Chain A
Amino acid sequence: MKLQVFRVVVFLVAGVFFLTPLFAMFEFSTRGNTDTAPRTLHAWTTIFQTPDLTDAIVASLELAVITSLAMLVLLLPTMVWVRLRLPGLSRIVEFICLLPLTVPAIALVVGLRPIYVWININVTDSILALALAYVVLVLPYAYRSLDAGLGAIDLKTLSEAARSLGAGWFTVMWRVVVPNMSTAILNASLLSVALVLGEFTLANLLNFENMQVAIAYLGLAGDADTSIAVAVASLIFAFVLLMVITFIGQRRRPSLTAAGTDPEYLTVGQRA
């Protein structure tokens, strides 16, 4: 009983802690121009009437998707291969993946700027080129999530079983590894999406206008209520995404009954 009360209290405190700023931001974004003016959704409707802002939001969403996919395509097969075939390299791969955590954003920009100058001139000046830098940025978080997922399955046995049944490496990845790591993959993707949607420094210093940069410009231009409205919307989007991923993760897991506690265990070996 005491434990239940404690749980409810913790849940309420955490709820207040997370929801109060969100509510305050929403309240601010719906204020009128004067103290006596009625509530208005003007800031929210303005989001869709400001082409620069919508462009930046779309660009950020595209970047989030591209970064997540690129991260998965790059990291997942690499980690699987290293685990199965080159376990001696696992420490080195881990070190490389975690390295971006230790490099300050400004140092990254200094290193990346010449590359982006070259890309802008010779390849494309699209903001989507930022995905290259973002893949590096999300590596540490994605690595940790995928590593935990790989550690939770018997990768060697499952892949060898699939191979012995006639599966090529692509089939092993697509039909065996990915379905059994769906939660870890979704978590890694969520972290990547959240990081990309909240990223400001790289985009700003490399002269790209993503959602965060656009929000900052709006604030500087005096349109604070619209910038706050976009910020609230992006937070709610991340929150909903997290809920969806949690829900999918639970649904994908078959109801677990530990071997040995299953009543059928008692009749093992008897022919049906």
Chain B
Amino acid sequence: MSANAVETRARTGVEVRLEDLRKVYAGVAALDGLSLTIGQGELVALLGPSGCGKTTALRLLAGLEEPSDGRVVIGGQDVTNFGANKREIGMVFQAYSLFPHMTATQNVEFGLQLHKVDVNKRRKKAREMLDLVGLSAHANKYASQMSGGQQQRVALARALAIEPKVLLLDEPLSALDARVRARLRDEIRRVQLDVGITTLFVTHDQEEALAIADRVGVMNRGRLEQLGPPTAIYSRPATPFVAEFVGLTNRLEGNVHNGEVEVRGVRLPLVKPDTSDGPATALIRPEAVSLAADGEEATGPLSGTVISISFLGATSRVTVDLGDVVVLAQMPTAQASDHQAGSRVRLTLRPDPVLIARDEKTAAEA
């Protein structure tokens, strides 16, 4: 099988624009002015906690909900008032969505039938799409005879068979176990790149979003907090919410002065140097913290006791109690094995630019 087997008519992808989209349910804004442009053939992942509005955004794009305000533009055409069946989208759902009374082939053929594709072309296309997702051998199976991962792959084949302008993935992996999830995630990315289709992927799993997407949009309370490549989202979070939602973050009290923050005697540069002076909380990634074994005599504001060491494979996470705060440090397992629970250590903070969080109290003091 190869991607060449699939016709690539109009599959170079179209641009998708969500313009100032709002959705209000019973007076509560589930989506509060979302503007997002997805480039041709790009895969954008919307990431956020439950209730942040990411699924609402996807459903508005799919036409399964009507926006309270704003526009949806697909390939330059305003489709805001189009029904879901007129938008030429393909969608894979979180819940298993194969039609139980049809075989895998019949499921894939369903959309083609509705698009009045000739029976021979339909059969051929269904075979190609099942081949694309590696399920040719399961063509005659019913949904109940397939595993969850297989069902989602058939659902992907079914969504792509109609050659949609946009592919929408609504947490398609969340019902699967971890091993299948990781494999299918890569499979989806491979197929998306093969076909070159513009894709919106919604997930609450940051690992999934960072691994699969060209760009990740982090959402909170119906708004887009940050949109950017996965590396930028992780290493240069734009807001404290992004910093804390994506990856692990240590919160250490400090003082901002002249575009730097002093944390326990260490001066660190700021992501936003124009931050006003005053007390603040510095958000520091665990991998920016390293340890030095100083024996029992280790003292000072960055000295503490190792509480636990979590083995994560190639890296390990060490939890250190500084007395008034607990700090996480992540490092190669070989380095972490130099320390033991109960031993005294001294922390070193890498001088990466850090983000500042200010609650109302510290902001007022500043």
Q: Which residues of A contact B (CB under 8 A)?
A: 153-154, 157-158, 160-168, 171, 175-176, 179-180, 252, 254-260, 262, 264-265, 268-272
- Name the interface size band of chain B: 35 or more
Shortest distance from the beta carbon of B331 to any chain A beta carbon, whole Å: 31
Shortest distance from the beta carbon of A36 to any chain B beta carbon, whole Å: 60
Give A154's nearest chain B residue, CB to CB: B95
* Contact between A269 and B187, CB atoms less than 8 A apart: yes
What is the interface of chain A mostly: helix, strand, loop, or mixed? loop
* Contact between A160 and B148, CB atoms less than 8 A apart: no
Give B100's nearest chain A residue, CB to CB: A180
Shortest distance from the beta carbon of A256 to any chain B beta carbon, whole Å: 5
The distance in angstroms between the C-alpha atoms of A165 and B86, with both chains bound, is 9
Cβ–Cβ < 8 Å partners of B91 in chain A: 160-161, 164
* Contact between A268 and B137, CB atoms less than 8 A apart: no
* Contact between A257 and B84, CB atoms less than 8 A apart: no
Residue picked from A175, A176, A257, A268, most chain B C-beta under 10 Å: A268
* Contact between B135 and A272, CB atoms less than 8 A apart: yes
Taking A163-B85, A272-B136, A272-B138 as known contacts, 10 extra A-B pairs with beta carbons closer than 8 A to each other, sorted by chain A number, are A158-B97, A162-B110, A165-B90, A165-B158, A165-B162, A180-B100, A256-B144, A260-B147, A269-B180, A272-B134
* Contact between A180 and B147, CB atoms less than 8 A apart: no
Give A256's nearest chain B residue, CB to CB: B144
The distance in angstroms between the C-alpha atoms of A176 and B114, with both chains bound, is 13
Cβ–Cβ < 8 Å partners of B70 in chain A: none
Q: Which residues of B contact A (CB under 8 A)?
A: 1, 62-64, 83-86, 89-91, 93, 95-101, 110-111, 114-115, 131, 134-138, 142, 144-151, 155, 158-159, 162, 168, 179-180, 183-184, 187
Of the A-B pairs whose beta carbons lie under 8 Å apart in the complex, a sample of 28, sorted by A's number, is A154-B95, A160-B62, A160-B91, A161-B91, A161-B93, A163-B83, A164-B89, A164-B90, A164-B159, A165-B111, A166-B114, A167-B85, A168-B85, A175-B110, A254-B100, A259-B147, A259-B148, A259-B151, A262-B146, A262-B147, A264-B150, A268-B150, A268-B184, A269-B149, A269-B180, A269-B183, A271-B1, A272-B135
Cβ–Cβ < 8 Å partners of B131 in chain A: 272
Closest 4 CB pairs of A and B: A269-B183, A165-B111, A271-B134, A268-B149
Cβ–Cβ < 8 Å partners of A268 in chain B: 147-150, 180, 183-184
* Contact between A164 and B99, CB atoms less than 8 A apart: no
* Contact between B84 and A163, CB atoms less than 8 A apart: yes
Residue picked from B90, B134, B187, most chain A C-beta under 10 Å: B134
